[in-house]
Structure 1
Amino acid sequence: MLAAQRRELILEQVRRDGGVRVTELVEAFDVSDMTIRRDLDALEHRGSLVKVHGGAVAAEGARTTEPGFEAKSTLQSDEKRAIARAVAALVEPHSAVGLSAGTTTALVAEHLRDTPGLTVVTNSIHVAEVLYRSARTDQTVALTGGFRTPSDALVGPLALASVRGINLDTLVLGVHGIHDRAGFTTPNLTEAETNRALVEAAGTLVVAADHTKWGTVGLSTIAPLDRCDVLVTDDRITPAARETLQDRVGRLVVTDVPREDG
Structure 2
Amino acid sequence: MLGAERRSQIMSEVRRNGAASVVDLATALGVSEMTVRRDIEQLATEGLVDRVRGGATTPRLPDRAELGFPNQARRLLAEKRAIARRAAILVEPGMSVGLSGGTTTWTLAQELRAIPELTIVTNSLPVADVFARPDRADEPYTQTVVLTGGVRTPSDALVGPVAVRAIESLHCDVVFLGVRGIDLQAGLTTSNLLEAETNRAFVGAGRRSVVLADHSKWGAVGLTTIVDLREVDHLVMDDDVSEDVETTLRAQFGEVWLAPVAPASADDDRMDA
Structure 2 length as normaliser, TM-score?
A: 0.85
Aligned to 1:160: 164
Aligned residue runs from structure 1 range 65-214, under 5 A: 65-66=63-64, 67-134=67-134, 136-214=140-218
Deviation at 1:18, TM superposition (A): 3.2
**Secondary structure of 1:168's match?**
coil
Larger CA deviation: 162-171 vs 48-57 = 48-57
- Equivalent residue letter for 2:209: L
Deviation at 1:104, TM superposition (A): 1.0
Q: Deviations over 1:139-194 (max 9, x none)?
A: 10112132222333211232223212111111011111111222211111111111
- Equivalent residue letter for 1:100: S
Q: Deviations over 1:72-104 (max 9, x none)?
A: 222221111111001111112101110011111
Distance in 2 separating the partners of 1:75 and 1:35: 25
Deviation at 1:136, TM superposition (A): 4.7
Please state if 1:257 is matched with 2:261: yes
Whether the aligned pair in 1 keeps the contact of 2:82 and 2:262 (CA below 8 Å) is no
Whether the aligned pair in 1 keeps the contact of 2:173 and 2:208 (CA below 8 Å) is yes
Distance in 1 separating the partners of 2:74 and 2:39: 18
Q: Deviations over 1:209-233 (max 9, x none)?
A: 1111111121222122222222111
Deviation at 1:32, TM superposition (A): 4.0
Deviation at 1:259, TM superposition (A): 5.3
Q: Do the aligned partners of residues 56 and 245 (structure 1) sit closer, same or farther apart at CA in structure 2, a change above 3 Å counting? A: closer
- Equivalent residue letter for 1:154: L
- Equivalent residue letter for 1:12: S
Larger CA deviation: 104-113 vs 175-184 = 175-184
Which of residues 240, 243, 246 in structure 2 aligns to 1:242? 246
Structure 1 length as normaliser, TM-score?
A: 0.89
- Equivalent residue letter for 2:12: E
Distance in 1 separating the partners of 2:150 and 2:140: 25
RMSD, aligned α-carbons: 2.2
Q: Do the aligned partners of residues 82 and 186 (structure 1) sit closer, same or farther apart at CA in structure 2, a change above 3 Å counting? A: same
Gaps of 5+ in 2: 265-273
- Equivalent residue letter for 1:178: I
Whether the aligned pair in 2 keeps the contact of 1:144 and 1:163 (CA below 8 Å) is yes
Aligned to 1:24: 24
Q: Deviations over 1:30-88 (max 9, x none)?
A: 3344432232223334444432222223445x4x8454322322222111111100111
Identity across aligned pairs (percent)?
A: 48
